[in-house]
Structure 1
Amino acid sequence: MNANPQIEIEAAEALLDIGVSLPFFKIPFTRKFVRLTMKRPCLGGQIRLARLYLRTGITYEEMLEFSKHEELAYMAVHGRRVSKMVALTICRGAFSTWLFSDLLAWLLRWFVDDEYLRAASMQFLCLLGTKSFMTIIKSISTTNPMRPRLSQRKSEKGS
């Protein structure tokens, strides 16, 4: 059964806008958890997120095929980057990213299970991309003021 790609794109956009809730830590003597919400970062945060992801040197498709041993090795080598990527999706502002993301990444490493961090980072990595910029680039290319218009006649004189 083939799904409409536009519906999948809209579902991804909605999920990124609403966010993904991540259990931070359990409140003692209750069953409640303090939860943090990961949302789509601003462009500066997306650029930093992309840099961190590319430094790992592993693609999303390769991560999907990891065995348990490979998952543990990945988290041992790139655990700090993964927690930093998740922190960038929680602290999304221009100043809060620089001020609090390192502290939040440290807290995430020590208080959140690695399964949640790995699943959350993989969820956001598959949803984030350049699709939203394609329409902007397409509209800019059609309205490029430097491109000659075919409706104008060539004049023998300059402008």
Structure 2
Amino acid sequence: MDENVIKQIQREGADALLDVGVSVPLKAFRLPFRKNPVVLRVTMKRPYLSGQIRFARTYLSLGVTSEQMWNFGKEEEMNFIAWHGKELGRMIAYTICRGWWSRHLLLWPTAWFVRNFMEQQYLVGAVKRFVSLMGTDPFIPIIRSAEMTNPMKLRLSQKRKGS
């Protein structure tokens, strides 16, 4: 594998393990007497297991693979948003409303707000990123590395003495 790809996988794996999340601009408001707009941002994090199951069900109902999503042209992307915009908004809401209470109370208002106020480029980009992070592929090199650095296994320098 290419060195950049390996570093990208390690970075994504570390972010997922640390549960850092991705900060996405939701809506920019222009206020009078202010030069720059005020940007309302939300942090999208990996949902807990029940949210991941719902996210996966919603994603699988779309009938598209991750590779197809990354290779969309402008026409295909617009068509995809037209047909599946409500599901995309719900998937993003699952990453914002992670807990049981927030998912049951705030999921639908959050999904509505995302559909009506989030810019299209952020909507599709966020879904693409989280679909790629939901699998176990980024963790395979990390698991192999952890197997190689087993603390119970004798090191090369310790074979003679055994300590």
Tell me the residue number matched to 1:12: 12
Give yes or no for contact 2:24–2:122 (8 Å, CA) kept in 1.
Answer: yes
Pair 133,61 (structure 1): closer, same or farther in 2 beyond 3 Å:
closer
C-alpha deviation, 1:5, in angstroms: 7.3
Pair 65,133 (structure 1): closer, same or farther in 2 beyond 3 Å:
closer
Give yes or no for contact 2:25–2:42 (8 Å, CA) kept in 1.
Answer: yes
C-alpha deviation, 1:133, in angstroms: 9.3
Tell me the residue number matched to 1:23: 25
Mapping of residues 74-93 of structure 1, within 5 Å: 74-93=80-99
| TM-score (ref. length: structure 1) | 0.76
Residue of 55, 64, 70 corresponding to 1:58: 64
Paired letter, 1:3? E
Mapping of residues 9-158 of structure 1, within 5 Å: 9-16=9-16, 17-29=19-31, 30=34, 31-130=37-136
1:84-136, Cα deviation, whole Å (9 max, x unpaired): 0000000000121121111100000111111101000101111111459987x
| Alpha-carbon distance in 2 for matches of 1:94, 1:133 | 26
C-alpha deviation, 1:67, in angstroms: 1.4
Q: Let me know the Cα RMSD of the aligned residues.
A: 2.3
Paired letter, 2:26? F
Give yes or no for contact 2:22–2:44 (8 Å, CA) kept in 1.
Answer: yes
Tell me the residue number matched to 1:2: 2
Pair 3,51 (structure 1): closer, same or farther in 2 beyond 3 Å:
same
Query: 3-state DSSP class of the match of 2:3?
Result: coil
- Unaligned 5+ residue runs, structure 1? 136-159
Pair 74,4 (structure 1): closer, same or farther in 2 beyond 3 Å:
closer
C-alpha deviation, 1:9, in angstroms: 4.0
Identity, in percent, stands at: 41
| Alpha-carbon distance in 1 for matches of 2:64, 2:123 | 16
Equivalenced residues, count: 136
| TM-score (ref. length: structure 2) | 0.74
| Alpha-carbon distance in 2 for matches of 1:11, 1:133 | 10
Paired letter, 1:56? L
